[in-house]
């Protein structure tokens, strides 16, 4: 019989937690979940393996015996975005992709990432994550539980022309463990993100690009570190590793003036990385960002009401400094 129930997309919530003991373990939603402040809830890419080809037989039509589907050996991917807060749940995203749970997360010099065996003890407190897309009730709906997640892309951004320069985030997570798409229990934990204080560019006490104090309109810093899934078990892949480059990039729009007039020529004539304060937002305990060394990958005029500069930067490992450090503790 048809039912009259209808649900707003805004009734769905996203929760996250560390797989505290075994990586990829299901049922972690029972406790210690942390809500993420998302703008909207996107459906994950399930990436089931299907064979839909017509094989040999009578006629030229697709038949039931031609069909094959596997939902075990696949990578589930989820993209989320929203308002960034300095609390346990949101910080897990930076900690996972940086492979750093001590103090201020950073992509350390000579960073190699970490490998994690599913079903074995976690490498650290953020090496394997569970995400739950929680429905508003479990009588007429179901939640989605995705254990064994790693963050493959994490971005922090702010724009003075949007939401008063409030910090935003986006993240892509992948898992090699079969998700539970029929979860009927209630995710337990904070029903609102733990830190409700908004972080904005207005609280920053200093900003530098190319070791020059600048006036900033916006920035977006991205850490990108792809994951590789290998092996097999009855619940999915056996291991997740980081094989490709861990890249840190920045896009920022700043005022064109006497302090920044040389940036175009500096981009055109650079022969080595800038050493020291390539991109810095001093915002103590509120996601300050520190990229010490880098190269310009583009500098161009941005014609608005006044002339601005669009600057693109790639962080460079000098063998000493971290590629990027997120200031969340002091």
- DSSP assignment of 138-182, as one string? SSS--EEEEEEEEEEEEEEEEETTBGGGB-EEEEEEEE-B--EEE
Q: What is the mean pLDDT of each run of 10 residues along the chain (330 residues)?
A: 79 88 82 89 92 86 91 96 94 96 94 90 92 79 90 97 95 96 75 80 94 97 97 95 95 98 98 96 90 98 96 97 92
pLDDT at 2: 78
pLDDT at 190: 66
Paired residues of 303 in beta bridges: 307
pLDDT at 330: 65
Strand 143-159 with 13-18, pairing: unpaired
pLDDT at 271: 97
Beta strand spans in 160-306 (E): 168-175, 180-183, 206-209, 212-213, 216-224, 228-230, 239-241, 247-255, 274-282, 288-303
pLDDT at 148: 95
* Close Cβ partners of 269 (under 8 Å, ≥ 6 residues apart): none
- DSSP helix/strand/coil, 9: helix
What single-letter DSSP state applies at residue 25?
-
Number of Cβ within a 10 Å radius of residue 158: 27
What distance in Å separates the CA atoms of residue 56 and residue 139, rounded to the nearest whole number?
45
* Close Cβ partners of 160 (under 8 Å, ≥ 6 residues apart): 201, 216, 217, 218
Place of tokens 């809830």: 41
pLDDT at 191: 66
pLDDT at 224: 98
pLDDT at 57: 78
Place of tokens 């930076």: 94
- 309-330 in b/e form (b: 16+ CB < 10 A) is bbbbbbbbbeeebbbbbbbbee
What distance in Å separates the CA atoms of residue 265 and residue 309, rounded to the nearest whole number?
12
pLDDT at 135: 81
Q: pTM value?
A: 0.94
Domain ranges, ordered by start, for the chain = 9-49+67-327
């Amino acid at each position: 019989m048809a039912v009259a129930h209808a649900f707003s997309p805004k009734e769905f919530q996203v929760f996250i937690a560390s797989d505290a003991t075994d990586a990829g373990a299901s049922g972690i939603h029972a406790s210690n979940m942390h809500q993420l402040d998302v703008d909207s809830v996107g459906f994950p890419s399930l990436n089931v393996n299907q064979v839909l080809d017509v094989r040999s037989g009578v006629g030229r039509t697709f038949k039931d015996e031609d069909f094959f589907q596997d939902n075990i050996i696949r990578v589930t991917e989820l993209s989320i975005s929203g308002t960034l807060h300095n609390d346990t749940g949101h910080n897990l995203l930076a900690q996972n992709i940086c492979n750093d749970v001590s103090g201020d997360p950073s992509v350390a010099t000579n960073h190699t990432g970490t490998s994690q065996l599913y079903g074995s003890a976690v490498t650290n407190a953020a090496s394997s994550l569970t995400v739950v897309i929680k429905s508003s009730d479990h009588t007429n709906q179901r939640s989605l539980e995705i254990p064994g997640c790693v963050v493959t892309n994490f971005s922090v951004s702010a724009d003075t022309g949007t939401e008063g320069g409030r910090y935003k985030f986006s993240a892509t997570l992948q898992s090699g463990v079969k998700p539970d798409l029929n979860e009927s229990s209630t995710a337990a934990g904070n029903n609102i993100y733990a830190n409700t204080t908004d972080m904005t560019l207005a609280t920053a006490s200093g900003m530098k690009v190319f070791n020059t104090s600048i006036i900033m309109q916006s920035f977006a810093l991205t850490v990108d570190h792809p994951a590789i899934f290998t092996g097999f078990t009855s619940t999915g892949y056996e291991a997740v590793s980081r094989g490709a480059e861990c890249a840190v990039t920045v896009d920022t729009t700043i005022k064109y003036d006497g302090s920044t007039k040389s940036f175009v020529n500096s981009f055109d004539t650079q022969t080595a990385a800038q050493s020291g304060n390539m991109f810095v937002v001093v915002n103590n305990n509120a996601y300050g960002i520190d990229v010490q060394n880098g190269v310009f990958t583009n500098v161009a005029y941005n014609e608005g009401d006044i002339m601005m500069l669009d600057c693109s930067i790639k962080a460079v490992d000098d063998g000493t400094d971290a590629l990027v450090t997120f200031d969340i503790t002091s």
